[in-house]
Structure 1
Amino acid sequence: MSSQTSKKQQTPAVMPIKEMRGHTRRVRGVVHLPGGRRIVTCSSDGSLRLWDLESGTQIGEDWRDDEAKKSGVHSIALSPNGKTLVSGSEDGKVRLWDVETGKVVTRWMGHTGGVTSVCWSAGGHRVVSGSEDGIAGVWNAKTGETILKINTEHESVWAVKYSSDDTQIATGGYEVNIWDAKTGNLIETLKHDWMVLSLAWTSDGKKLITGSWGPIKIFDTATWEQTGTLGGHDDWVKAISLSPNNRLLASTSYDRTAQIWNLDTNLPVRPPLQHKHWVYSAAFSANGRVLVTGSNDGNAYAWDVYAILKQAGLEDLLQPPSDVPARKSLKGSSATRLPPIQARRIPPGFFDGVQNSSQSSAAHATHIRSSAYHPRGALAPSSADLHTLLNRISSFFHHSRSDTNAATELQQRPARPIFSRGPRVVEVAAVQDRKVCLLVYF
């Protein structure tokens, strides 16, 4: 316990680089606009707001729909072309907003309960919405026509997400249902113990990540088998967000923390990002270098992801895996992040008692060199001598180890070689190390 306490004391707390204050109720959603300098947030206070990310100040007036000024906005999503926002509100309406004017373009009606989640198709032609009425609605983004009305059999739909190829839709309730995006037919059901509040699909479509109570789960979409667990939150995981290169995941929770995860190892990058209240939303910037979180206190917070990764020695996680050259020099490389090899002087008398007393050190060294060519003719030391030598070597390297921070850093490294382009092999030992490491963060 004392070692864990000392480690926490040695790790400085991470502070947000900007705080955006203005909403009067919880910040339910956030999106980054093209260019990387502006964000839009939505809130239970019924407004959307545009912010300058560099200064942390609001740009212009609140965005509000005159027809529903008091209807809280549960979720927002940005169109692939960056010109239109879709929002879901307490009044059951789905709204499209023009990003440049901050005005409502159109309203779609059809849900009988609050709209909890919205998502664009990758092609930008459709929008899916999830509602407290248990319906997932698929809309034509141009005409507003209802294309599909999926009765999910969830008591409430808390999260909806299109697959990267637009062929499937995932919905979160007391389980996760996977639907054919064209026909609305059920493809698969992924059982969970608690309500699923958040979903994320990797851009290659190979993984679906779910957030519920406690551990975050990772599923292989080819088999729908669970292949990974991110254990660290001890309350509801309200939002999850993938970095553009799929190597980082941000999660926010009612435990008043946000966490950044290394998806190469399924380990947390560092201790959680602390908030004063529940954390409702999260979004990475287009380059992955900034994370914005929205909180129950009405504020949005910007975090310097690059600085956080650099402090952990993991800034290479901002690069796509394919960016690592096949024959990159190890000298000065940030790809390995292995601790430098440090030479130590062998103490006097290290070999005393190991070699035969009739042999001098010089003769012994000559014998070792020559025996390399004649291994069967070499005079081997006795088993007692070998035992003594091995004990000394073990003791020598034991005292040469770096502190626990270096050991934690090594656990962050991928199990595969850094130059490998094949599938990652997960070993049982790595799973056990993960369990030990996560004890620090509970």
Structure 2
Amino acid sequence: MSLGRVKRKEASAITPCQKFEGHTDCVYGTINLPGGQRIMTCSWDGSLRVWNLKSGKQIGDEWRDGESEVLTIALSPDGKKVVSGSEDGGVRLWDMDTGKVIGRWMGHTDRVNSVCWSQDGQRVLSGCTDGTARQWDVENGETILTPIKAGHSLLAVAYSPDMTLFATGGADRPWDDTGDNKSAIKIWNAKTGEKLVATLEGHTDCVRCLVWTPDGKTLISGSDDFSVRTWNTTSTWKQIAVLEGHTSGVFSIAISPNGRILASASYDHTALLWNLDNNQPISSPLQHPSHMFSVLFSVDGKLLATGCENKNAYTWDVSAIVKEAGLDELLLDQRDKSVLAVRDTFLL
């Protein structure tokens, strides 16, 4: 597949708060853990690792179940379990207290690229290179309803906040040398698992990442066409805006808890912070040594964690970056117009 020629940018003055070293291959995913003192990463090296957020040191042994590469992880709403997706097609359920696998859900026939939890913690949604999306019953590990054939290859899946819908994105046809990999985002009824609610067209290359805003009114997508796009989900399902700034494919996106800042990670070696009030970049790019694979906000929106191809993860002071840009209001919670509590850690 072609992600386009990466153009080098001038070095940014913004530097990370911390670096997490230990993985032996690309860091594909990052999540924050209960208690506010730890984060977890997953890697192409086949391991999950827990880190002390302040010191950057690994806590305990790596978590591992075989040698298959781990591409995606997600924390359960109650903070007691982690679900992962792997190269071998397995979806694994891990116990947070023991670091051991308590469920292996097999059914996909290729790599699992994306997993997410329903907000009630009873279901897990997975998307696979085999082109199918599956909903799993967490209690018994069985597939709920019929697997959905949603495209040639699924790279991203996401439940809506109210759990009535889910979105899928990826490639609608095999990759070839023409670069013609136009792909639509598809919206499905989560209760029936079959009814196609809407098809969102606009991206000119495969869709790699999806996220809903906390209020459920907007869906945001990132693509190999270098763009991030926003979509109205309340009635029209029309494209709202195109955010352009990256010079290569967008691999991961995350939205701040107050819904006002977006982060995107790209193959162009950078992460960008976006002001969702006007869809403009907030600062110069956050420079990394290699391709970017993941971004994650802390629950208070003050920190950003990033995962990189160079085997390391990093944290960045979003609060300082936003204030330096003179955009302090973006740290406000629009629900009560009060400044979010300043915290130095990731919180559950």
TM-score range relative to shorter protein:
0.7 to 0.9
CA contact (8 A) 2:123 2:137 kept: yes
Give the Cα separation in 1 of the matches to 2:284 and 2:50: 30
- 1:71 matches 2:80: no
The letter of the residue matching 1:217 is R
- 1:301 matches 2:298: no
Give the Cα separation in 2 of the matches to 1:161 and 1:322: 24
Give the Cα separation in 2 of the matches to 1:251 and 1:46: 24
- 1:180 matches 2:189: yes
- 1:123 matches 2:120: yes
1:214 Cα shift?
A: 1.2
TM-score of the aligned structures, taking structure 1 as reference length:
0.69
Unpaired stretches in structure 2, ≥5 consecutive residues: 1-8, 171-182, 340-348
- 1:195 matches 2:206: yes
Find the counterpart in structure 2 of residue 102 from structure 1. Answer: 99
Find the counterpart in structure 2 of residue 393 from structure 1. Answer: none
Find the counterpart in structure 2 of residue 208 from structure 1. Answer: 219
1:151 Cα shift?
A: 2.9
CA contact (8 A) 2:150 2:186 kept: no
CA contact (8 A) 2:40 2:49 kept: yes
Question: For 1:223-256, what per-residue CA distance to the aligned partner results, in whole angstroms no more than 9, with x for missing partners?
Answer: 1111111110121100000111111111000000
1:12 Cα shift?
A: 6.3
Find the counterpart in structure 2 of residue 44 from structure 1. Answer: 44
Q: How does 1:305-320 map to 2 (within 5 A)?
A: 305-320=318-333
Give the Cα separation in 2 of the matches to 1:197 and 1:255: 15
Give the Cα separation in 1 of the matches to 2:273 and 2:88: 33
Q: Give the structure with the larger helix fraction.
A: 1
Give the Cα separation in 2 of the matches to 1:149 and 1:249: 33
Per the alignment, do residues 161 and 153 of structure 1 end up closer, same or farther by CA in structure 2, a change over 3 Å counting? closer
How many equivalent pairs are there?
A: 315
Unpaired stretches in structure 1, ≥5 consecutive residues: 1-7, 326-332, 334-442
- 1:279 matches 2:292: yes
The letter of the residue matching 1:180 is N
Question: For 1:33-78, what per-residue CA distance to the aligned partner results, in whole angstroms no more than 9, with x for missing partners?
Answer: 123221000000000000011111100010001xx2x200010011
SS at match of 1:277: coil
Percent identical = 53
CA contact (8 A) 1:36 1:286 kept: no
CA contact (8 A) 1:77 1:85 kept: yes
The letter of the residue matching 1:51 is W
Give the Cα separation in 2 of the matches to 1:56 and 1:151: 40
Q: How does 1:401-440 map to 2 (within 5 A)?
A: none
1:28 Cα shift?
A: 0.5
Structure 1 segments of 4+ aligned residues over 3 angstroms from their partners = none
Q: How does 1:367-386 map to 2 (within 5 A)?
A: none
Q: Structure with the greater relative contact order (CA < 8 A, sep ≥ 6): 1 or 2?
A: 2
RMSD of the alignment, in Å? 1.6
